[in-house]
Chains A and B, each alone.
Chain A
Amino acid sequence: MTATIQSPRSGKPSSGKPSSGKIQPKYRRTGGSKGNFEMLAWLFMRLSGVVLVVLIFGHLTVNLLVGEGIHAIDFGFVAGKWADPFWQFWDLAMLWLAMLHGTNGVRTIINDYAEKDATRLWLKIVLYAATTVIIILGTLVIFTFNPCPVANGVQLPGGFCPAP
Protein backbone atom coordinates (compact mmCIF):
# COMPACT_ATOMS: atom_id res chain seq x y z
CA MET A 1 0.00 0.00 0.00
CA THR A 2 1.45 3.30 -0.99
CA ALA A 3 0.34 6.74 -0.11
CA THR A 4 1.14 9.83 -2.07
CA ILE A 5 2.21 12.72 -0.02
CA GLN A 6 1.13 16.00 -1.47
CA SER A 7 4.01 18.37 -1.84
CA PRO A 8 3.61 21.35 0.41
CA ARG A 9 1.88 24.43 -0.97
CA SER A 10 1.02 22.68 -4.22
CA GLY A 11 -2.35 24.36 -4.13
CA LYS A 12 -4.45 21.22 -3.83
CA PRO A 13 -7.95 22.41 -4.68
CA SER A 14 -9.65 20.48 -1.89
CA SER A 15 -7.66 22.33 0.73
CA GLY A 16 -8.82 25.59 -0.75
CA LYS A 17 -5.58 27.20 0.25
CA PRO A 18 -3.43 29.37 -1.95
CA SER A 19 -0.15 28.21 -3.27
CA SER A 20 2.85 30.35 -2.70
CA GLY A 21 3.15 33.52 -4.71
CA LYS A 22 -0.50 33.67 -5.67
CA ILE A 23 -2.83 36.18 -4.14
CA GLN A 24 -6.38 35.26 -3.30
CA PRO A 25 -8.89 37.23 -5.41
CA LYS A 26 -10.34 38.85 -2.28
CA TYR A 27 -7.10 40.76 -1.74
CA ARG A 28 -6.43 41.74 -5.32
CA ARG A 29 -6.91 45.43 -5.84
CA THR A 30 -8.80 45.94 -9.05
CA GLY A 31 -9.11 49.15 -10.99
CA GLY A 32 -7.09 51.65 -9.04
CA SER A 33 -8.99 54.88 -8.70
CA LYS A 34 -7.52 57.71 -10.64
CA GLY A 35 -8.38 61.16 -9.46
CA ASN A 36 -8.48 62.69 -6.05
CA PHE A 37 -12.02 61.92 -4.92
CA GLU A 38 -11.02 60.21 -1.67
CA MET A 39 -8.54 62.94 -0.87
CA LEU A 40 -11.12 65.67 -1.49
CA ALA A 41 -13.70 63.76 0.56
CA TRP A 42 -11.20 63.51 3.41
CA LEU A 43 -10.39 67.20 3.16
CA PHE A 44 -14.06 68.15 2.97
CA MET A 45 -14.75 66.23 6.20
CA ARG A 46 -12.14 68.27 8.08
CA LEU A 47 -13.08 71.66 6.66
CA SER A 48 -16.85 71.18 6.88
CA GLY A 49 -16.40 69.85 10.41
CA VAL A 50 -14.68 73.04 11.53
CA VAL A 51 -17.28 75.26 9.83
CA LEU A 52 -20.12 73.17 11.27
CA VAL A 53 -18.85 73.65 14.81
CA VAL A 54 -19.22 77.41 14.35
CA LEU A 55 -22.56 77.17 12.54
CA ILE A 56 -24.17 74.71 14.95
CA PHE A 57 -23.02 76.38 18.16
CA GLY A 58 -24.06 79.75 16.73
CA HIS A 59 -27.43 78.27 15.88
CA LEU A 60 -27.88 76.75 19.34
CA THR A 61 -26.81 79.96 21.08
CA VAL A 62 -29.17 82.17 19.12
CA ASN A 63 -32.10 79.79 19.38
CA LEU A 64 -31.76 78.51 22.93
CA LEU A 65 -29.72 80.93 25.01
CA VAL A 66 -30.21 84.47 23.76
CA GLY A 67 -33.21 86.42 25.06
CA GLU A 68 -36.04 84.24 26.32
CA GLY A 69 -34.18 81.18 25.07
CA ILE A 70 -36.12 78.06 24.27
CA HIS A 71 -39.47 79.59 25.28
CA ALA A 72 -39.26 82.07 22.43
CA ILE A 73 -39.23 79.42 19.74
CA ASP A 74 -42.44 79.29 17.75
CA PHE A 75 -43.61 79.87 14.20
CA GLY A 76 -43.05 83.57 14.61
CA PHE A 77 -39.48 83.09 15.77
CA VAL A 78 -38.62 81.02 12.70
CA ALA A 79 -40.47 83.42 10.41
CA GLY A 80 -38.56 86.31 11.94
CA LYS A 81 -35.24 84.62 11.39
CA TRP A 82 -35.96 83.65 7.79
CA ALA A 83 -37.03 87.15 6.96
CA ASP A 84 -33.33 87.97 7.24
CA PRO A 85 -31.10 86.81 4.34
CA PHE A 86 -28.25 86.35 6.84
CA TRP A 87 -30.12 83.59 8.68
CA GLN A 88 -31.37 82.13 5.40
CA PHE A 89 -27.76 81.76 4.30
CA TRP A 90 -26.71 80.49 7.75
CA ASP A 91 -29.36 77.78 7.77
CA LEU A 92 -28.72 76.88 4.15
CA ALA A 93 -25.00 76.47 4.80
CA MET A 94 -25.76 74.40 7.89
CA LEU A 95 -28.16 72.18 5.96
CA TRP A 96 -25.83 71.53 3.05
CA LEU A 97 -22.67 71.06 5.08
CA ALA A 98 -24.32 68.86 7.70
CA MET A 99 -26.01 66.70 5.08
CA LEU A 100 -22.89 66.27 2.95
CA HIS A 101 -20.68 65.76 6.02
CA GLY A 102 -23.05 63.15 7.41
CA THR A 103 -23.55 61.46 4.06
CA ASN A 104 -19.84 61.16 3.49
CA GLY A 105 -19.42 59.76 6.98
CA VAL A 106 -22.09 57.13 6.41
CA ARG A 107 -20.59 56.40 2.98
CA THR A 108 -17.25 55.52 4.57
CA ILE A 109 -19.02 53.42 7.20
CA ILE A 110 -20.84 51.51 4.45
CA ASN A 111 -17.55 51.05 2.61
CA ASP A 112 -15.92 49.74 5.78
CA TYR A 113 -18.68 47.46 7.00
CA ALA A 114 -20.66 46.18 3.99
CA GLU A 115 -19.33 42.76 3.14
CA LYS A 116 -21.05 42.12 -0.17
CA ASP A 117 -20.84 44.41 -3.18
CA ALA A 118 -24.60 44.19 -3.69
CA THR A 119 -25.28 45.24 -0.09
CA ARG A 120 -22.86 48.10 -0.47
CA LEU A 121 -24.53 49.27 -3.67
CA TRP A 122 -28.05 49.20 -2.24
CA LEU A 123 -27.13 50.90 1.02
CA LYS A 124 -25.46 53.66 -0.96
CA ILE A 125 -28.45 54.07 -3.28
CA VAL A 126 -30.71 54.49 -0.23
CA LEU A 127 -28.23 56.88 1.36
CA TYR A 128 -27.82 59.10 -1.71
CA ALA A 129 -31.57 59.11 -2.36
CA ALA A 130 -32.29 60.20 1.22
CA THR A 131 -29.60 62.87 1.04
CA THR A 132 -30.89 64.27 -2.24
CA VAL A 133 -34.49 64.42 -1.01
CA ILE A 134 -33.58 66.12 2.28
CA ILE A 135 -31.21 68.66 0.71
CA ILE A 136 -33.72 69.63 -2.01
CA LEU A 137 -36.64 69.73 0.40
CA GLY A 138 -34.70 71.76 2.98
CA THR A 139 -33.43 74.22 0.38
CA LEU A 140 -36.96 74.68 -0.96
CA VAL A 141 -38.31 75.32 2.52
CA ILE A 142 -35.71 77.98 3.26
CA PHE A 143 -36.28 79.85 -0.01
CA THR A 144 -40.02 79.42 -0.47
CA PHE A 145 -40.94 79.88 3.17
CA ASN A 146 -44.20 81.77 3.44
CA PRO A 147 -44.80 83.59 6.74
CA CYS A 148 -48.47 83.92 5.83
CA PRO A 149 -49.79 80.42 5.17
CA VAL A 150 -53.16 80.28 3.47
CA ALA A 151 -55.33 77.18 3.13
CA ASN A 152 -58.53 77.17 1.03
CA GLY A 153 -58.48 80.93 0.90
CA VAL A 154 -58.39 81.22 4.68
CA GLN A 155 -55.37 82.50 6.57
CA LEU A 156 -54.09 79.95 9.05
CA PRO A 157 -53.72 81.13 12.64
CA GLY A 158 -50.26 82.10 13.83
CA GLY A 159 -49.21 83.44 10.46
CA PHE A 160 -47.69 86.82 9.83
CA CYS A 161 -49.64 88.45 7.05
CA PRO A 162 -49.34 91.94 5.61
CA ALA A 163 -52.20 94.20 6.56
CA PRO A 164 -54.90 94.06 3.87
Chain B
Amino acid sequence: MSAELAEPASKIELPAGVGGGGEIPSFDVTLRVRRYNPEVSEDATWDDFKVTMYGTDRVLDALHKIKWEMDGSVSFRRSCAHGVCGSDAMRINGRNRLACKTLLKDLDTSKPITVEPIKGLPVEKDLIVDMEPFFQSFREVMPFLINRGHEPTKERLQSAEDRERFDDTTKCILCAACTSSCPVFWTDGQYFGPAAIVNAHRFIFDSRDDAGDMRLEILNDKEGVWRCRTTFNCTEACPRGIQVTQAIAEVKQAILSRKV
Protein backbone atom coordinates (compact mmCIF):
# COMPACT_ATOMS: atom_id res chain seq x y z
CA MET B 1 0.00 0.00 0.00
CA SER B 2 1.60 3.16 -1.11
CA ALA B 3 -0.74 6.08 -0.84
CA GLU B 4 0.95 9.01 -2.43
CA LEU B 5 0.44 11.92 -0.11
CA ALA B 6 2.01 15.19 -1.12
CA GLU B 7 3.85 17.07 1.61
CA PRO B 8 2.04 20.26 2.50
CA ALA B 9 3.88 23.32 1.32
CA SER B 10 6.15 24.85 3.94
CA LYS B 11 4.89 28.01 5.48
CA ILE B 12 8.32 29.07 6.65
CA GLU B 13 10.11 31.39 4.27
CA LEU B 14 13.81 30.68 4.15
CA PRO B 15 16.29 33.12 2.72
CA ALA B 16 17.61 32.22 -0.72
CA GLY B 17 21.16 31.74 0.59
CA VAL B 18 20.14 28.86 2.73
CA GLY B 19 21.01 25.68 0.92
CA GLY B 20 19.89 22.12 1.29
CA GLY B 21 16.72 20.73 2.74
CA GLY B 22 15.83 21.77 6.23
CA GLU B 23 18.82 23.93 6.93
CA ILE B 24 17.81 26.55 9.44
CA PRO B 25 19.49 29.92 9.79
CA SER B 26 21.57 30.31 12.91
CA PHE B 27 22.52 33.41 14.82
CA ASP B 28 24.49 34.43 17.87
CA VAL B 29 22.57 35.67 20.85
CA THR B 30 23.58 36.79 24.32
CA LEU B 31 21.50 35.69 27.27
CA ARG B 32 21.84 37.81 30.39
CA VAL B 33 20.75 35.51 33.19
CA ARG B 34 19.98 36.63 36.74
CA ARG B 35 22.12 34.50 39.04
CA TYR B 36 21.51 34.03 42.74
CA ASN B 37 22.96 31.44 45.06
CA PRO B 38 22.38 32.09 48.76
CA GLU B 39 25.07 29.56 49.67
CA VAL B 40 27.69 31.73 47.97
CA SER B 41 26.41 35.26 48.21
CA GLU B 42 23.30 37.11 49.31
CA ASP B 43 23.61 39.34 46.26
CA ALA B 44 22.19 38.45 42.89
CA THR B 45 24.29 39.15 39.79
CA TRP B 46 23.93 39.06 36.02
CA ASP B 47 25.84 36.50 33.94
CA ASP B 48 26.18 36.84 30.18
CA PHE B 49 26.23 33.75 27.97
CA LYS B 50 26.86 33.96 24.25
CA VAL B 51 25.31 31.05 22.36
CA THR B 52 24.75 30.15 18.73
CA MET B 53 21.11 29.29 18.26
CA TYR B 54 18.76 28.51 15.40
CA GLY B 55 15.61 30.14 14.11
CA THR B 56 13.48 27.36 15.52
CA ASP B 57 14.96 27.61 19.02
CA ARG B 58 13.18 28.90 22.07
CA VAL B 59 14.60 30.66 25.10
CA LEU B 60 14.37 27.31 26.88
CA ASP B 61 16.67 25.74 24.27
CA ALA B 62 19.21 28.48 24.89
CA LEU B 63 18.99 27.85 28.64
CA HIS B 64 19.48 24.13 28.02
CA LYS B 65 22.51 24.82 25.88
CA ILE B 66 23.95 27.02 28.63
CA LYS B 67 23.26 24.49 31.37
CA TRP B 68 24.37 21.44 29.40
CA GLU B 69 27.40 22.86 27.62
CA MET B 70 28.62 25.99 29.41
CA ASP B 71 27.67 26.30 33.07
CA GLY B 72 25.94 23.38 34.76
CA SER B 73 25.14 25.45 37.84
CA VAL B 74 22.50 27.54 36.06
CA SER B 75 19.24 26.49 37.71
CA PHE B 76 15.73 26.72 36.36
CA ARG B 77 12.54 24.69 36.40
CA ARG B 78 11.09 22.98 33.39
CA SER B 79 9.16 19.78 32.96
CA CYS B 80 7.24 19.23 29.76
CA ALA B 81 8.98 22.00 27.77
CA HIS B 82 5.90 22.35 25.58
CA GLY B 83 3.81 25.00 27.28
CA VAL B 84 1.55 22.65 29.21
CA CYS B 85 3.05 22.07 32.65
CA GLY B 86 3.66 25.71 33.50
CA SER B 87 7.02 25.15 35.19
CA ASP B 88 9.22 27.55 33.27
CA ALA B 89 7.52 30.90 33.67
CA MET B 90 10.22 33.54 33.87
CA ARG B 91 10.75 37.20 33.20
CA ILE B 92 12.22 37.45 29.70
CA ASN B 93 13.15 40.96 28.55
CA GLY B 94 11.07 42.31 31.42
CA ARG B 95 7.91 40.39 30.58
CA ASN B 96 6.57 37.23 32.16
CA ARG B 97 6.51 34.41 29.64
CA LEU B 98 7.08 30.70 29.37
CA ALA B 99 10.64 30.04 28.22
CA CYS B 100 9.35 27.06 26.24
CA LYS B 101 6.87 29.16 24.26
CA THR B 102 9.11 32.12 23.47
CA LEU B 103 11.05 31.84 20.22
CA LEU B 104 14.42 33.58 20.25
CA LYS B 105 13.82 34.98 16.78
CA ASP B 106 10.78 36.86 18.10
CA LEU B 107 12.95 38.75 20.58
CA ASP B 108 15.43 41.51 19.82
CA THR B 109 18.57 39.43 19.35
CA SER B 110 20.77 42.46 18.69
CA LYS B 111 20.74 43.16 22.42
CA PRO B 112 21.30 40.76 25.30
CA ILE B 113 18.11 38.96 26.26
CA THR B 114 17.52 39.32 29.99
CA VAL B 115 16.20 36.28 31.83
CA GLU B 116 15.10 36.75 35.44
CA PRO B 117 13.02 34.80 37.92
CA ILE B 118 9.37 35.85 38.17
CA LYS B 119 8.90 38.77 40.55
CA GLY B 120 7.20 38.89 43.92
CA LEU B 121 7.99 35.37 45.10
CA PRO B 122 11.11 34.53 47.14
CA VAL B 123 13.97 33.46 44.89
CA GLU B 124 15.57 30.19 45.94
CA LYS B 125 18.30 29.90 43.33
CA ASP B 126 18.85 31.58 39.96
CA LEU B 127 15.51 31.34 38.15
CA ILE B 128 13.81 29.14 40.74
CA VAL B 129 11.34 30.78 43.09
CA ASP B 130 9.46 29.45 46.09
CA MET B 131 5.97 28.78 44.69
CA GLU B 132 4.47 27.87 48.07
CA PRO B 133 2.72 31.23 48.72
CA PHE B 134 1.23 31.03 45.23
CA PHE B 135 -0.11 27.52 45.77
CA GLN B 136 -1.37 28.38 49.24
CA SER B 137 -3.66 31.03 47.72
CA PHE B 138 -4.70 28.50 45.08
CA ARG B 139 -5.60 25.95 47.76
CA GLU B 140 -7.57 28.51 49.78
CA VAL B 141 -10.15 29.01 47.02
CA MET B 142 -10.92 25.26 47.06
CA PRO B 143 -10.16 24.47 43.41
CA PHE B 144 -12.14 21.25 43.28
CA LEU B 145 -15.74 20.26 42.59
CA ILE B 146 -18.03 20.44 45.60
CA ASN B 147 -21.44 18.97 44.97
CA ARG B 148 -24.02 18.51 47.69
CA GLY B 149 -26.43 16.41 45.65
CA HIS B 150 -26.53 12.65 45.29
CA GLU B 151 -23.55 11.10 43.64
CA PRO B 152 -24.62 10.18 40.12
CA THR B 153 -23.89 6.75 38.75
CA LYS B 154 -22.71 8.26 35.49
CA GLU B 155 -20.77 11.43 34.76
CA ARG B 156 -22.33 14.77 35.70
CA LEU B 157 -23.86 16.10 32.51
CA GLN B 158 -23.76 19.75 31.59
CA SER B 159 -25.09 21.70 28.64
CA ALA B 160 -22.65 23.16 26.14
CA GLU B 161 -23.75 26.66 27.16
CA ASP B 162 -23.12 25.97 30.85
CA ARG B 163 -19.70 24.61 29.97
CA GLU B 164 -18.92 27.64 27.82
CA ARG B 165 -19.56 29.96 30.78
CA PHE B 166 -16.22 29.11 32.44
CA ASP B 167 -14.34 27.71 29.45
CA ASP B 168 -11.72 30.45 29.44
CA THR B 169 -10.61 29.88 33.02
CA THR B 170 -10.21 26.12 32.57
CA LYS B 171 -7.12 26.83 30.51
CA CYS B 172 -4.97 27.84 33.49
CA ILE B 173 -1.73 25.87 33.89
CA LEU B 174 -0.71 27.48 37.21
CA CYS B 175 2.54 28.88 35.87
CA ALA B 176 2.23 32.00 38.11
CA ALA B 177 3.02 34.36 35.23
CA CYS B 178 -0.10 36.40 36.06
CA THR B 179 0.25 36.58 39.82
CA SER B 180 3.94 37.48 39.58
CA SER B 181 3.19 40.24 37.05
CA CYS B 182 0.67 41.90 39.36
CA PRO B 183 1.95 45.10 40.98
CA VAL B 184 -0.44 44.65 43.91
CA PHE B 185 1.03 41.21 44.59
CA TRP B 186 4.56 42.65 44.38
CA THR B 187 3.88 45.09 47.24
CA ASP B 188 3.36 42.72 50.11
CA GLY B 189 2.46 39.30 48.73
CA GLN B 190 -0.80 39.36 50.68
CA TYR B 191 -3.15 39.62 47.69
CA PHE B 192 -4.71 36.31 46.63
CA GLY B 193 -3.49 37.03 43.11
CA PRO B 194 -5.04 36.61 39.68
CA ALA B 195 -4.32 32.87 39.40
CA ALA B 196 -6.26 31.97 42.55
CA ILE B 197 -9.20 34.10 41.40
CA VAL B 198 -9.13 32.55 37.92
CA ASN B 199 -9.27 29.09 39.45
CA ALA B 200 -12.06 30.13 41.79
CA HIS B 201 -13.91 31.53 38.75
CA ARG B 202 -13.62 28.14 37.06
CA PHE B 203 -15.76 26.59 39.83
CA ILE B 204 -17.93 29.56 40.83
CA PHE B 205 -19.45 29.63 37.34
CA ASP B 206 -19.64 25.84 36.97
CA SER B 207 -23.31 24.81 37.04
CA ARG B 208 -22.36 21.48 38.64
CA ASP B 209 -20.66 23.11 41.61
CA ASP B 210 -22.52 24.03 44.80
CA ALA B 211 -19.85 25.93 46.75
CA GLY B 212 -19.77 29.13 44.73
CA ASP B 213 -21.00 31.14 47.73
CA MET B 214 -18.17 29.86 49.91
CA ARG B 215 -15.59 30.80 47.31
CA LEU B 216 -17.13 34.23 46.84
CA GLU B 217 -17.01 34.74 50.59
CA ILE B 218 -13.31 33.80 50.62
CA LEU B 219 -12.55 36.26 47.82
CA ASN B 220 -14.58 39.03 49.50
CA ASP B 221 -11.60 39.28 51.88
CA LYS B 222 -9.66 42.52 52.14
CA GLU B 223 -6.87 40.75 50.25
CA GLY B 224 -9.34 39.31 47.75
CA VAL B 225 -10.77 40.61 44.49
CA TRP B 226 -11.16 44.19 45.76
CA ARG B 227 -7.39 44.67 45.68
CA CYS B 228 -7.43 44.26 41.91
CA ARG B 229 -6.63 47.61 40.28
CA THR B 230 -7.39 46.38 36.75
CA THR B 231 -3.92 47.12 35.41
CA PHE B 232 -4.29 44.19 32.96
CA ASN B 233 -0.71 43.01 33.60
CA CYS B 234 -2.10 39.53 34.28
CA THR B 235 -4.04 39.35 31.03
CA GLU B 236 -0.95 40.40 29.09
CA ALA B 237 1.26 37.92 30.92
CA CYS B 238 -0.97 34.86 30.59
CA PRO B 239 0.73 32.40 28.19
CA ARG B 240 -2.64 30.71 27.69
CA GLY B 241 -4.41 33.89 26.62
CA ILE B 242 -6.92 33.78 29.47
CA GLN B 243 -8.84 37.04 29.91
CA VAL B 244 -7.72 37.18 33.54
CA THR B 245 -8.82 40.71 34.37
CA GLN B 246 -12.25 39.98 32.93
CA ALA B 247 -12.54 36.85 35.06
CA ILE B 248 -11.68 38.91 38.16
CA ALA B 249 -14.30 41.49 37.17
CA GLU B 250 -16.90 38.71 36.81
CA VAL B 251 -16.10 37.46 40.30
CA LYS B 252 -16.48 41.04 41.63
CA GLN B 253 -19.86 41.27 39.93
CA ALA B 254 -20.90 37.91 41.39
CA ILE B 255 -20.01 39.05 44.92
CA LEU B 256 -21.86 42.31 44.42
CA SER B 257 -25.01 40.75 42.99
CA ARG B 258 -25.08 38.29 45.88
CA LYS B 259 -24.57 40.90 48.60
CA VAL B 260 -26.39 43.93 47.30
Contact = CB atoms under 8 A, between A and B. Distances in A.
Contacts of A71: none
B30 interface: no
Output the residue of B39, B132, B187, B256 with the most chain A CB within 10 A. Answer: B132
Closest 8 CB pairs of A and B: A27-B133, A38-B226, A33-B222, A27-B189, A15-B38, A42-B226, A38-B222, A32-B221
A20 interface: yes
A58 interface: no
A157 interface: no
Interface string A8-22: 000000011110111
B132 A39 contact: no
Interface residues of B, number: 28
A123 B24 CA distance: 59
B127 to A, nearest CB: 15
B157 interface: no
Interface in B116-169: 122, 124, 130, 132-133, 136
Interface in B213-229: 220-224, 226-227, 229
B132 A18 contact: yes
A23 interface: yes
Contacts of A115: 187-188
11 contacts: A23-B136, A26-B188, A27-B136, A29-B190, A32-B221, A36-B259, A39-B226, A39-B256, A112-B183, A112-B227, A115-B188
A112 B187 contact: yes
Contacts of B122: 17-18, 24
B188 to A, nearest CB: 7
Given A27-B189, A32-B221, A115-B187, A41 B132 contact: no
B84 interface: no
Nearest to B189: A27
A105 to B, nearest CB: 11
Interface string B21-47: 000000000000000001100100000
A122 interface: no
A15 B39 contact: yes
Contacts of B81: none
Given A27-B136, A41-B226, A18 B130 contact: yes
Interface string A59-76: 000000000000000000
A43 B256 contact: yes
A32 to B, nearest CB: 5
A23 B134 CA distance: 10
B252 interface: yes
Contacts of B256: 39, 43
B51 interface: no
A10 to B, nearest CB: 12
A77 interface: no
A29 B132 CA distance: 13
Contact of A29 (B130, B223, B252): B223
Interface in A75-130: 108, 111-113, 115
B90 interface: no
A43 B225 CA distance: 13
Contacts of B223: 29, 32
B184 interface: yes
